[in-house]
Structure 1
Amino acid sequence: MVGRQDSEHEAQWAKWRSVADLYHAFFTGLILTVVSRRGTADAAEFVFRVFRRQQQERFLPGLVKLGLDHLPPAVAAARYHYLSNWIGGVHVEYMHETDRKAWIRYPPPRWIWRGTAICGVPGEVSRAMLRGWHANNGVALGNLNLGFVCTKQSVDGQDGLEGYYCEYDHPLELDARLVFARHLESPQFDPATAPALPVDSWPKPRLEKAYRNYAMEYVKTAAPVMVQVFGPEDAAYLLHLTGKLIGMQYFHEIAKSFAMGQGAAQGSAKDFVAFLRVLFESQDDVAEISASEGAFEVRQQSWKLMADVGDYHPACASVLTGLFEGLAAGCGRHIPVHLKPPVGGKAPFVWSIG
């Protein structure tokens, strides 16, 4: 019985990881879509807004959740980046130098710029990420002496993104909270001295769900920011296009992890609806499915990802319309996917398939 339960858990976790891969790809793809369709300056502004919003919403609560809020500012900030990214499956290193100077390093391969995507990311976009989050940690902590010194950027051809938090003896002006020192290099990482999560409060099931949520929350942040920065019409186009491209590219990989076999790639609406059922379950959404004469109606009762977003706009639903159209195209040709206009642009969503 225990072995069966373990097998069921492993299967569930594999599905969660596939959902994480899908949303991870969507977020990376969205940045590339903005770079290629709107240019570097717009992409940098978008990335800055996404990471500043995440920093403002999650940094201080995250310090408490991870048990870091009692540490010196530089150490707390660096450890936060190490542990929170580690939970999400990001390869990251932490090196303590003093209580006023602590390093973090993201060695290759970079999680956020997955695979060949790194070749399409301008340095300005990567710097915007640092401006949005790393440079603002001192402000969030109420300590204007804390800044971030970046010594390497992987998108500039260096062997990773790295830098250190430094607590100075004086308050920093805005433009001094992020500076670059490319002539410096981080110390070597020693896994034996790295911080670790307490096992009793972070058991395997919690870690697996947190891994999934880490990637999904980037999309939760990015979609409303896209609307606020570019306006509903342009945002809807960019979100939909990205979703369709990513859905087409990732369907077969996701279907395989959903244990759907080759049948999911035979091009029928029935196969695609079966795939959607697993996808909804794997991202904690409730859906009711009915069939009539070869066509299906899928009533998506919830979109948990966006349920508590205060500035949600109906254009955000383009994430789903794009993804579902792309996933359907990956499943097979000529599988129509249509979303009936939702009331207020929010769930429940009623989809007609086939």
Structure 2
Amino acid sequence: MTAADTAQEAQWKRWRAVADLYHAYFTGLILTVVTRRGTADAAEFVFRVFRRQQQERFLPGLRKLGIDHLPPAVAAAQYHYLSNWIGGVHVEYMYESDTKAWIRYPPPRWIWKGPAICGVPGEVSRAMLRGWHANNGVVLGDLRLGFVCTKQSVDGQDGLEGHYHQYDHPLEPDQRLVYARHLEAPLFDAKAAPALPVASWPKPRLEKAYRNYAMEYVRTAAPVMVQLFGPEDAGYLLHITGKLIGMQFFDEIAEPLAMRSGGASEFASFLGALFAAQDDAAETTQSEGTFEIRQQSWKLMDDVADYHGACTKLLEGMFEGLAAGCGRHIDVHLRPTTGRRAPLAWTVG
């Protein structure tokens, strides 16, 4: 392996560390709403996150994947198979006909990683289907397309599965998601499943897309939370989730970022490496044991039309938690900025 190959592998590990951190944050955010606001609010939150993601990503994603010419049921199912595969989510696809195509999310579920699945009410998982899967026909302009859910892993079944079905008549809103627990998906045949064209999806692009997949959920979730719960309550939820996840995950992501536990100096270096792995520019200066980090960009929120300053609470909480994981008595603060948009100024001491 050449030096260039080694450097590239190290870059990919840093990207995956960022993906793991944001993946955990998104899962944690849902659990925070479940435990602190209740199942109904958590379901509404998840519904809005996935509906917003669908409205922003579904049609452009179909074109990007080269499957926008397929019949609606097949296109919808292949989209979920391919786009989730890019993000490292285990999904299966089974074609039955041009009007019926299956998808299955086998265990372990990506979104409810590890023991988190034990804290997810069925209503919250169903909200994901209502937000995205049940609305694909509407977005495609074919009101005959619905989703039939046959299993839910949070209900103790062996995965989340169902099929897109194109009926012979338009569906009313309450008919676009139905349940048929007596049915079961056919077995998955990897050889018959669609594949990404290697030429347009080389390894470096896939690695960056893997990172971006997890980050996109947080990009969507933060402004949704502010709009749904208001800046004060949302800021608290974003902050406490970030702090808990940061404390839990510092050790896991420090090694890929070539960092170690220590004091303020080590943590300032860690933040610099984290910003770089997120493609954010940052400059660090030191003065009498205090480090100032000027975060020049926050690309995650750059083009969010309804961005609110309360969204920075996710970074404040996350950095506080990561600092606690790095070492005791490390203080990290965000200095007030106009509109709470980048550039953001952090002090570490």
Q: TM-score range by the shorter chain?
A: over 0.9
- 1:287 matched to 2:286? The reply is no
Give the structure 2 partner of residue 193 of structure 1. 192
Give the structure 2 partner of residue 15 of structure 1. 14
Deviation of residue 345 (structure 1)? Answer: 1.2
3-state SS, counterpart of residue 283 of structure 2: strand
- 1:236 matched to 2:240? The reply is no
Question: CA-atom RMSD, angstroms?
Answer: 0.6
- 1:334 matched to 2:333? The reply is no
Deviation of residue 3 (structure 1)? Answer: 1.2
> How far apart, in 2, do the equivalents of 1:328 and 1:336 lie?
7
3-state SS, counterpart of residue 298 of structure 1: strand
- 1:1-354 equivalences under 5 Å are 3-260=2-259, 264-266=260-262, 268-354=263-349
Name structure 2 gaps, 5 residues minimum. Answer: none
> How far apart, in 1, do the equivalents of 2:79 and 2:155 lie?
25
Deviation of residue 265 (structure 1)? Answer: 1.1
> How far apart, in 1, do the equivalents of 2:105 and 2:338 lie?
43
- Equivalent position amino acid for 2:327 in 1: G
> How far apart, in 2, do the equivalents of 1:347 and 1:192 lie?
47
TM-score, length-scaled by structure 2 = 0.99
> How far apart, in 1, do the equivalents of 2:7 and 2:292 lie?
29
Name structure 1 gaps, 5 residues minimum. Answer: none
Deviations 1:217-256 (A, max 9, x none): 0000000000010000000000000000000000011001
> How far apart, in 2, do the equivalents of 1:347 and 1:6 lie?
33
> How far apart, in 1, do the equivalents of 2:288 and 2:230 lie?
40
> How far apart, in 1, do the equivalents of 2:192 and 2:270 lie?
44
> How far apart, in 1, do the equivalents of 2:163 and 2:273 lie?
42
> How far apart, in 1, do the equivalents of 2:279 and 2:258 lie?
18
Deviation of residue 259 (structure 1)? Answer: 2.3
Deviations 1:26-50 (A, max 9, x none): 0000000000000000000000000
Segments of 4+ in structure 1 off by > 2 A? Answer: none
Deviations 1:58-113 (A, max 9, x none): 00000000001000000000000000000000000000000000000000000000
Deviations 1:270-292 (A, max 9, x none): 00011111100000000010001
- Equivalent position amino acid for 1:34 in 2: V
Q: Percent identity?
A: 77
> How far apart, in 2, do the equivalents of 1:81 and 1:342 lie?
39
